[in-house]
Amino acid sequence: MLDCLFCGIASGQIPAEIIQEDSRTIAFRDINPQAPAHVLVIPKEHYVDLAAVAEAGGGLLEEMGRLAHRAAVAEGIDRSGYRAVFNSGPDSGQEVPHVHAHVLGGRRLSWPPG
């Protein structure tokens, strides 16, 4: 999709620190990390939010989950633990309208979120 930041990262037109990649998904470091490890997992194809990718079906959501775990392994936080979270829609504070899972770890994370 034209003018989409994460489509630009997926296509390589916008630089990002890529951690893991699969045929339909890509994981890269968040530019403004909220934890020692903070990775974003996206589908290469454009979907606005979790609702859109969930409704599309076809196993993409499972592939995103798998890549999130692979990214956690690559970051060395799979044993210490990590959080994978989607912001979806206005109340969540989602800022980038291309679905992404945040993978956070490397320190004790607070719960519940603010």
The residue ranges that bind ligand 5GP (CB under 6 A) are 5, 16, 28-32, 40, 87, 93-96
Which among ligand 5GP, Zn ion, none contacts residue 4 (Cβ within 5 to 8 A by kind)?
Zn ion
Are 19 and 10 in contact by the 8 Å Cβ rule? The answer is no
Euclidean distance between CA atoms 68 and 87, whole angstroms: 15
Q: What residue number has its CB nearest to Zn ion?
A: 4
> Residue 100 catalytic?
yes
Of 79 and 86, which has the nearer Cβ to ligand 5GP?
86
- What element of type H or E holds 56? helix 50-56
Catalytic residue numbers?
Answer: 100
